[in-house]
Amino acid sequence: MEITDDHFHLDPRGRRGDAVREFLKAGGSRLVLVHKPYGDWQKLHQFEAQVATTLKLAEEAREAGAQVAVVAAPHPVALVKMAEVLGPVAAEDLYLKAVEYCCTLVDAGELAGLGELGRPHFPVVEKAWEQANRVLEAALARTRDAGGAAVLHTESGTPEVMAELGAIADRARFPKARLVKHYGGPGALAEPAGLVVSVIASRKNLQAAAASGAEFMLETDYLDDPDRPGAVMGPKTVPRRTRAALESGVLDQELARRIHVDLPDRVYGRFS
């Protein structure tokens, strides 16, 4: 059976292929490689260059032996930062141009979807909050038109937050079966509002997720950051926790297959 880490980063300054080989040696096979900002950007060509880096890192992961699906998008925190420098109108225009660029890569088959989209995970002024939600809705609508999945970075997924995200998806007419709440925990699982929850693979979270009846996948949110080795979780975590959960009876083979094969295939399509 395939073992899929649903949220995995690589960094040009990091361990790159060595981290992927560590994941594979532990029993993993598939990665959702998620673009992360490698620095601030205020021009579209700078963002495009960063996405090119992510696509190159995906090829390195494939060369190491992993099957990979790639998602990329302008991070929601970038909108907040750019608004402070460029002003909110120019920042929104630039952010949505970056979304449009990623959608062209979905159309071309280079990306499986957009991620991380979302909204700030920290307090901001009301106008910035309203803008973040408006831009998220617009980004989801464009991603829907491109036929891509979407991965959300937001504040912690309480039932109230999940309901708000579900309502935004409904307004954008985005298929929630392909909408992933990244960095999920018990609060997101309690009332997921139709979204797929990507659960940080702690033992406690895995037990809660297995008992919840909600649709979920497992992730490490591995950052490949040389300044924070092993953050958020190390590359071996998902395969090791999955194997331990099967041995203890927390998971059975049917649920494990749904977590690692059926749901990732539905959300992202083909891994290659």
Cis peptide bond upstream of 116, omega within 30 = yes
Q: What is the pLDDT of residues 33-71, one digit of tens each?
A: 999 999 999 999 999 999 999 999 999 999 999 999 999
Q: Specify the pLDDT at position 46.
A: 98
pLDDT category at 129 given cuts 50, 70, 90 is very high
Work out the burial of residue 230: count CB atoms within 10 Å of its CB; fewer than 13 is exposed, 13-18 middle, 19 or more buried: middle
pLDDT of residue 11: 98
Q: Has residue 270 got a pLDDT over 90?
A: no
Domain of 233: which CATH number?
Answer: 3.20.20.140
Mean pLDDT score of the chain, rounded to an integer? 97
This prediction's pTM: 0.97
Burial class (CB in 10 A: 0-12, 13-18, 19+), 61: buried
Per-residue pLDDT at 14: 97
Domain boundaries, position 164: 4-268
Q: What percent of the chain has pLDDT over 90?
A: 98
Alpha-carbon span 178 to 264, nearest angstrom: 9
What per-residue confidence (pLDDT) applies to 193?
96
Q: What single string gives the DSSP state of each residue in the chain?
A: ---EEEEE---TTS-THHHHHHHHHTT--EEEEE---SS---SHHHHHHHHHHHHHHHHHHHHHT-EEEEE----HHHHHHHHHHH-HHHHHHHHHHHHHHHHHHHHTTS-SEEEEEE--SS---HHHHHHHHHHHHHHHHHHHHHT-EEEEE-S---HHHHHHHHHHHHHHT--GGGEEEEEE-HHHHHS-TTPEEEEE--HHHHHHHHHH---EEEE--B---TTSTT-SS-TTHHHHHHHHHHHHTSS-HHHHHIIIIIHHHHHH----
Do residues 172 and 153 make contact, with C-beta atoms less than 8 angstroms apart? no
Whole-number pLDDT of residue 85:
96
Query: Per-residue pLDDT for 268 more than 90?
Result: yes
The model's pLDDT over 163-207, given as tens digits with 9 standing for 90+, comes to 999 999 999 999 999 999 999 999 999 999 999 999 999 999 999
Q: Give 76-113 pLDDT, tens digit per residue.
A: 999 999 999 999 999 999 999 999 999 999 999 999 99
Count of domains for the chain: 1
Nearest to 132 by CA among 155, 110, 108: 155
Tell whether the model's pLDDT for residue 241 goes beyond 90. yes
> Around Cβ 96, how many Cβ atoms within 10 Å?
16
d(CA 191, CA 147): 26
Q: Region 216-233: what's the mean pLDDT? A: 96
